[in-house]
């Protein structure tokens, strides 16, 4: 290839690497704001760290004394590898490392440093081939045009059509290709061209595989459970709270498990509260255990006769979030700041032990019994304590996971309540985002068959409430053990049943 | 030349890094060696106590505030003999059921659970009902337990072949022959459990003195557990590991040391019933049996003298004097009394009561117990964290999680109690070695042992406290339980009656408690 050809080739690579460099920066910032929330902070700190690392790279370039071309090509391969895989790596590691920020900034620093090496090296490679003023003018022109292209491509094409992981791999491949083309064009001037070529091909093959399997990599990483945009994410001492939005649908996830979708949560919360509370004409005091989103409280507040509602939720971050964030208080109708509502942050089990008050209606709205510590909140020991907090003639309702997916688990809760001397009324309903969902109403004496529903309900009425307690054969009662602290039978059923279900 | 230099710098860098890592390893842990018994015991051997400078009277003196002494105190109260003084060597009563407490949790220093008592353990069952551990009986007469006292699930896990499995019987990589031997061994234990001897006594009972005296069964006391297992063809390595582990857990010594009768007693004596739990359930608390000790000690708090070293017990014509050193005041006190319950270990009794007949040849197992405060829960692959966590490859017995019974859903900090019976060499040698070790020596051993199953856990350790039990518990070596030594220990000596699990040959709560109760009965009958 003649000198002009080589010059053109090198300038074309300036353009490509400039595009790639900016894409990596945007990917890292976007991934960080997706996963960590607070996009302003993420964008600004990631860009800052990235530019700073580029400065380190530029400074380091002075220590490259010979074999400029060889070093340049190697740098291209390294950027291709790190930059291209950064997005997928971050998604995967997010769920598995405790100090995600350390990993994030380490990757950003490595990529930034390598990108910072590129332009100074290229300038020196082209030094003898162009006049200084031409050199500077051309290199920077292509550099900035590349940046413009990247900043337009990223939001308009890459994120919507390719996804973050796949875009990363795509630009990694482009970056690696620049290195390989340069190597091929200048093979006579590079020492050890053959070994370099093999390196390049390996890098491209890896990135190609990543590109092909990126969908699967992302599915594997927990963080990508969200198809929607993550608008809030926070790790509290108790759990990871994630809120997503897709169109008008607001979703809450705790430890990556869906808690509600704003599209159909009314079905769940109406079914949780009204079949029980509408039958207690004398109910004045209500206790809600769990349910820090305030949505069950919103339903309870529909009854003017209720004088006080005590909500006991473990996580102050949850109740604070659902008392202050406008989007969320709109959803729960400001339930948590209502004058009749008293919010306590504490563990329900311990709180019940010290409690001396009695309540006419108790709502136990805990996460599913997926581990031994939550399993304790569904044991005989727990229900006995709850029983002491129940006024004569009162009732308690428990969210009981899906009787379709976890049939033994559902009936295990029923068996446990009956072992504690409760009369139970199991019922279920369809919540589209959850599937078929189950509840159990427990009381010390059978409740009246008369319902007085408040106004404003969208799902439960006198007619639909009658259908809830019919269990078709595939969800019918099965013989199960009583769940106790010393056998944790429920967690064992639940684990086996959901594992079987998710394998299908 | 340049590459050489780079290499050189690289090497220096690597060694510097290695030194840093090394420094981290040898990290100083906060904490201390606690427990006074070793130093006080030494003093008792030297014998240079000041002459009593004060004389007081007490109706009865109880020497030793372990479970036996506390049980005797409770029974004296029940019998109306409220005028007694309980003298305890440590700064708080409890003995092997001692416990501690820090900002994170209460934790045990020794015994940490009681299995469901057998129907014949009437004294213990009565205590359980009194303390609300059980609340009445079901239609079949089985006690109904308060489930918050029953050990929460999951109870035990074993680290073997790189992962945690449920239960303590090795399941990973076992052969068909191992499995056959497991079945055979446990079937034999099951038949022992329901067996009655020719005198119609249960083959293995608790209290142990209610066991059948059938010579065929007692013959098991003449050989070691290891020898008997070999005779029976039980040579499976994982089975023998499991049985060895179990013996070390209860007796501080393995199958090569304890008698086959004691070994079988461990597996075949438990017939406890519960309306709401399986037979192998146990009751436990964050502070282990310290919970029981505190309940027993509370009513006699004002009649207890802690940090008191009894160094002389003498009797003449119906009166007894007990001399003890008040360690805090460094003054000796003489107590004139009508009778004594000696609830101290037998080897200590021999130092206090100079005319006590009989030899002093019982064997005691030395132990080390460490309480390790962690800023996060240990985890690991496989079965999640259990109450009792054991590593097959370790010489220690693993650790028990003090916060296991905690119902709070997300404990972040915890205290784990690490148990280590010192049985590699003969007890005297191990004892000497153990007492020579510094706090830092123990920390290094404990942290290294934990690090093998939880790599990196040393960086989550906030504190390590250590207790060295020089004479942790009586060791049921062949011939001890049924060789006649115990009968002699049970004889009163004038107006001194004895109460200690040493007299049973196995150190368990039920034995100590029953001995204490019976001793109080015997003393009241004796002195009227």
Q: Token pair 């204490």 is at which residue?
A: B516
Among A373, A380, A486, select the one facing B410 at the smallest CB separation: A373
With a CB-CB cutoff of 8 Å, which residues 211-250 of chain A face chain B? 237-239
Query: Pairing relation of β-strands B84-87 and B304-305?
Result: parallel
**Cβ–Cβ gap B152/A314 under 8 Å:** no
Alpha helices in A186-224 (DSSP H): 193-220
Dihedral angle over CA of B69, B75, B81, B84, nearest 10: 20
- pLDDT value for A94: 64
C-alpha B497/C-alpha B196 separation (Å) is 31
The predicted-structure confidence for B284-315, as pLDDT tens digits, reads as follows: 999 999 999 999 999 999 999 999 999 999 99
DSSP string, A317-355: HHHHHHHH-HHHHHHTTTGGGSTTEEEEES-HHHHHHH-
pLDDT at B89 over 50: yes
Do the Cβ atoms of B69 and B63 come closer than 8 Å? yes
Average pLDDT of chain B is 92
pLDDT at A168 over 80: yes
Give the nearest chain A residue to B283 (CA atoms): A486
Contacts from A497-503 at CB under 8 Å and sequence distance 24+? A497/A405, A497/A406, A497/A407, A497/A408, A497/A409, A498/A370, A498/A405, A498/A406, A501/A405, A501/A406
Do the Cβ atoms of B73 and B84 come closer than 8 Å? yes
- Based on the number of CB atoms within 10 Å of its own CB, is B141 exposed (0-12), middle (13-18) or buried (19 or more)? exposed
Do the Cβ atoms of A123 and A139 come closer than 8 Å? yes
C-alpha A350/C-alpha B348 separation (Å) is 44
Tell me the CA distances in angstroms from A113 to A56, A146, B518, one per residue in order.
6, 19, 80
**Cβ–Cβ gap B152/A372 under 8 Å:** yes
Structure confidence at residue B20 as a pLDDT band (50, 70, 90): very low
pLDDT at B437 over 90: yes
Structure confidence at residue A211 as a pLDDT band (50, 70, 90): confident
Interface test with B, best of A99, A386, A485 (most B CBs within 10 A): A485
> Which neighbouring-strand residues pair with B339?
B60
Do the Cβ atoms of A232 and A326 come closer than 8 Å? no
Structure confidence at residue B21 as a pLDDT band (50, 70, 90): very low
With a CB-CB cutoff of 8 Å, which residues 284-343 of chain A face chain B? 314
For residue B130, give the nearest of B139, B117, B140 by alpha carbon: B117
C-alpha B318/C-alpha B339 separation (Å) is 9
Q: What element of type H or E holds A286?
A: strand A285-290
Contacts from B23-27 at CB under 8 Å and sequence distance 24+? B24/B458, B24/B459, B25/B458, B26/B444, B27/B458
- pLDDT value for B23: 40
> Which neighbouring-strand residues pair with A287?
A310, A362
Handedness of CA A489, A491, A492, A497 (dihedral sign): positive
HSE-CB of A159 using CA atoms within 13 angstroms: 18
pLDDT at B14 over 60: no
C-alpha A415/C-alpha B153 separation (Å) is 19
pLDDT at B206 over 60: yes
Q: Determine contact: A484 vs chain B, CB below 8 A.
A: yes
B16 or B213, greater pLDDT: B213
Q: Kindly report the number of other CB atoms within 10 A of residue B69's CB atom.
A: 33
Quote the tokens at residue B511.
């034995």
- pLDDT value for B492: 95
Least confident of A35-39, A75-79, A168-172: A35-39
- pLDDT value for A492: 92
Q: Token pair 């009649």 is at which residue?
A: B303
Which SS3 state, helix, strand or coil, does residue B507 take? coil
Which SS3 state, helix, strand or coil, does residue B256 take? coil
- pLDDT value for A307: 97
- pLDDT value for A103: 87
Interface test with A, best of B152, B286, B387, B414 (most A CBs within 10 A): B152
**Cβ–Cβ gap A347/B409 under 8 Å:** yes
For residue B284, give the nearest of B511, B108, B119, B408 by alpha carbon: B108
Over range B142-166, report the average pLDDT: 94
For residue B403, give the nearest of B29, B128, B151 by alpha carbon: B151
pLDDT at A222 over 70: no
Q: Kindly report the number of other CB atoms within 10 A of residue B338's CB atom.
A: 19
Tell me the CA distances in angstroms from A450 to A429, A456, B223, B487, one per residue in order.
20, 19, 75, 74
Average pLDDT of chain A is 88
Interface test with B, best of A486, A489, A494, A496 (most B CBs within 10 A): A486
Over range B225-232, report the average pLDDT: 98
Contacts of A347 in chain B (CB under 8 A): 407-409
Q: Determine contact: B151 vs chain A, CB below 8 A.
A: yes
| 8-state DSSP, B196 | B
Contacts of B433 (CB under 8 A, 6+ apart): B422, B425
- pLDDT value for A97: 60
Contacts of A349 in chain B (CB under 8 A): 407-409
pLDDT at A137 over 70: yes
Structure confidence at residue B43 as a pLDDT band (50, 70, 90): confident
Contacts of B337 (CB under 8 A, 6+ apart): B57, B58, B59, B60, B61, B85, B319, B320, B321, B322
C-alpha A103/C-alpha B20 separation (Å) is 22
Domains delineated in chain A: 3-225 (1.20.1250), 264-503 (3.40.50.150)
- pLDDT value for B156: 96
Quote the tokens at residue A411.
């009936």
- Establish, for the pair of chains A and B, how many residue pairs have beta carbons separated by less than 8 Å: 61
Over range A155-179, report the average pLDDT: 83
Give the nearest chain A residue to B410 (CA atoms): A238
Over range A253-264, report the average pLDDT: 88
- pLDDT value for B8: 37
Among B148, B281, B410, select the one facing A237 at the smallest CB separation: B410
- pLDDT value for B58: 96
C-alpha A70/C-alpha A73 separation (Å) is 5
- pLDDT value for A226: 62
A489 vs chain B: nearest CA distance in angstroms? 9
Per-range mean pLDDT, top range of A126-140, B10-24, B452-466: B452-466
- pLDDT value for B1: 34
Do the Cβ atoms of B475 and B493 come closer than 8 Å? no
Contacts of A380 in chain B (CB under 8 A): 147, 276
**Cβ–Cβ gap B277/A484 under 8 Å:** yes
Judge whether A495 counts as a catalytic residue: no
pLDDT at B462 over 60: yes
Over range A383-398, report the average pLDDT: 96
Do the Cβ atoms of B444 and B26 come closer than 8 Å? yes
Contacts of A376 in chain B (CB under 8 A): 152, 407, 409
pLDDT at A82 over 50: yes
Do the Cβ atoms of B105 and B414 come closer than 8 Å? yes
pLDDT at A454 over 60: yes
Among B147, B408, B412, select the one facing A350 at the smallest CB separation: B408
């Amino acid at each position: 290839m003649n000198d002009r050809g080589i010059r053109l080739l090198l300038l074309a690579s300036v353009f490509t690497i400039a595009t790639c460099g900016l894409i990596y920066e945007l990917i890292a910032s976007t991934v960080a704001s997706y996963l960590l929330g607070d996009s302003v902070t993420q964008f600004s700190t990631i860009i800052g760290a990235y530019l700073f690392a580029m400065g380190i790279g530029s400074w380091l370039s002075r220590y490259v004394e010979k074999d400029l071309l060889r070093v340049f090509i190697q740098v291209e391969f390294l950027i291709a590898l790190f930059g291209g895989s950064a997005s997928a790596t971050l998604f995967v590691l997010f769920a598995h490392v405790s100090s995600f920020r350390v990993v994030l900034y380490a990757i950003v620093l490595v990529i930034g440093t390598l990108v910072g090496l590129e332009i100074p090296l290229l300038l020196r490679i082209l030094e003898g081939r162009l006049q200084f003023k031409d050199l500077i003018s051309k290199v920077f022109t292509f550099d900035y045009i590349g940046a413009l292209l990247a900043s337009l491509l990223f939001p308009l094409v890459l994120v919507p059509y390719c996804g973050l992981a796949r875009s990363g791999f795509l630009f990694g491949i482009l970056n690696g290709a620049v290195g390989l083309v340069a190597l091929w064009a200048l093979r006579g001037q590079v020492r050890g061209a053959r070994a370099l070529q093999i390196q390049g091909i390996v890098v491209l093959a890896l990135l190609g595989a990543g590109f092909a399997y990126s969908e699967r990599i992302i599915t594997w990483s927990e963080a990508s459970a969200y198809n929607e945009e993550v608008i809030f994410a926070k790790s509290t001492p108790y759990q990871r709270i994630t809120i997503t939005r897709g169109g008008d649908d607001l979703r809450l996830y705790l430890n990556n498990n869906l808690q509600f979708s704003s599209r159909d949560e009314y079905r769940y919360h109406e079914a949780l509260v009204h079949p029980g509370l509408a039958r207690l004409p004398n109910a004045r005091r209500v206790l809600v255990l769990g349910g820090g989103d305030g949505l069950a409280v919103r339903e309870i507040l529909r009854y003017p006769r209720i004088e006080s509602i005590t909500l006991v939720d473990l996580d102050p971050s949850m109740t604070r979030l659902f008392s202050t964030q406008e989007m969320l208080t709109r959803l729960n109708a400001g339930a948590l700041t209502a004058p009749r509502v008293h919010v306590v942050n504490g563990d329900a089990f311990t709180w019940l032990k010290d409690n001396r008050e009695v309540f006419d209606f108790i709502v136990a709205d805990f996460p599913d019994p997926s581990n031994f510590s939550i399993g304790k909140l569904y044991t005989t020991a727990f229900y006995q304590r709850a029983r002491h907090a129940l006024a004569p003639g009162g009732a308690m309702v428990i969210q009981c996971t899906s009787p379709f997916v976890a049939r033994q688990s559902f009936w295990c809760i029923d068996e446990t309540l009956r072992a504690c001397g409760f009369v139970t009324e199991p019922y279920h309903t369809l919540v589209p985002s959850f599937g078929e969902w189950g509840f159990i109403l427990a009381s010390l004496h059978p409740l009246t068959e008369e319902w007085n529903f408040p106004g404003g309900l969208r799902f439960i009425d006198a007619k639909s409430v009658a259908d809830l307690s019919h269990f078709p054969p595939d969800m019918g009662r099965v013989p199960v053990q009583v769940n106790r602290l010393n056998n944790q039978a429920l967690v064992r059923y639940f684990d086996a049943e959901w594992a079987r279900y998710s394998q299908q | 030349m340049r590459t050489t230099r780079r290499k050189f710098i690289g090497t220096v860098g690597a060694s510097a890094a290695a030194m840093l890592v090394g420094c981290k390893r040898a990290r100083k842990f906060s904490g201390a060696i606690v427990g006074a018994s070793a130093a006080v015991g030494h003093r008792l051997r030297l014998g240079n106590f000041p002459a009593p400078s004060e004389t007081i009277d007490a109706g009865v003196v109880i020497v030793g505030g372990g479970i036996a002494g506390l049980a005797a105190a409770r029974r004296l109260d029940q019998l109306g003999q409220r005028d007694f003084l309980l003298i305890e060597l440590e700064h708080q009563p409890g003995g092997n059921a001692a416990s501690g407490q820090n900002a994170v949790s209460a934790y045990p220093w020794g015994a940490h659970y009681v299995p469901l008592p057998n129907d014949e353990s009437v004294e213990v069952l009565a205590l359980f009902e009194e303390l609300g551990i059980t609340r009445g009986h079901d239609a079949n007469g089985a006690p109904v337990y308060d489930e918050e006292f029953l050990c929460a699930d999951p109870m035990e896990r074993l680290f073997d072949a790189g992962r945690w499995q449920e239960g303590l019987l090795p399941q990973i990589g076992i052969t068909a022959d191992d499995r056959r031997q497991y079945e055979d061994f446990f079937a034999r234990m099951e038949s022992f459990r329901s067996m009655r001897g020719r005198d119609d006594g249960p083959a293995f009972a608790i209290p142990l003195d209610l066991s059948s005296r059938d010579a065929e069964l007692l013959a098991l006391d003449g050989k070691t557990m290891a020898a008997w297992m070999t005779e029976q063809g039980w040579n499976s390595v994982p089975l023998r590991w499991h049985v060895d582990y179990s013996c070390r857990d209860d007796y501080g010594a393995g199958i090569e040391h304890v008698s086959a009768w004691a070994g079988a007693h461990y597996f075949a004596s438990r017939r406890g019933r519960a309306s709401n739990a399986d037979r192998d359930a146990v009751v436990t608390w964050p502070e282990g049996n310290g919970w029981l000790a505190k309940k027993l000690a509370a009513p006699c708090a004002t009649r207890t003298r802690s940090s008191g070293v009894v160094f002389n017990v003498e009797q003449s014509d119906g009166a007894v004097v007990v001399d003890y050193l008040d360690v805090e005041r460094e003054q000796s006190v003489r107590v004139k009394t009508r009778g004594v319950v000696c609830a101290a270990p037998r080897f200590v009794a021999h130092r206090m009561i100079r005319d006590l007949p009989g030899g002093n040849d019982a064997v005691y197992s030395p132990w080390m117990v460490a309480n390790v405060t962690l800023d996060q829960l240990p985890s690991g692959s496989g079965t999640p964290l259990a109450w009792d966590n054991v590593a097959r490859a370790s010489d220690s017995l693993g650790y028990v999680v003090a916060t296991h019974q905690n119902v709070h859903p997300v404990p972040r900090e915890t205290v784990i109690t690490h148990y280590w019976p010192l049985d590699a060499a003969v007890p005297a040698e191990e004892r000497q070695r153990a007492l020579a070790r510094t706090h830092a020596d123990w920390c290094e051993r404990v942290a290294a042992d934990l690090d093998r199953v939880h790599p990196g856990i040393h960086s989550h350790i906030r504190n390590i406290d250590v207790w060295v039990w020089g004479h942790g518990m009586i060791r049921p070596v062949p011939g001890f339980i049924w060789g006649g030594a115990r009968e002699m220990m049970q004889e009163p000596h004038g107006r001194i009656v004895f109460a200690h699990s040493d007299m049973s040959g196995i150190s368990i709560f039920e034995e100590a408690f029953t001995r204490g109760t019976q001793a109080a009965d015997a003393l009241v009958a004796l002195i009227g």
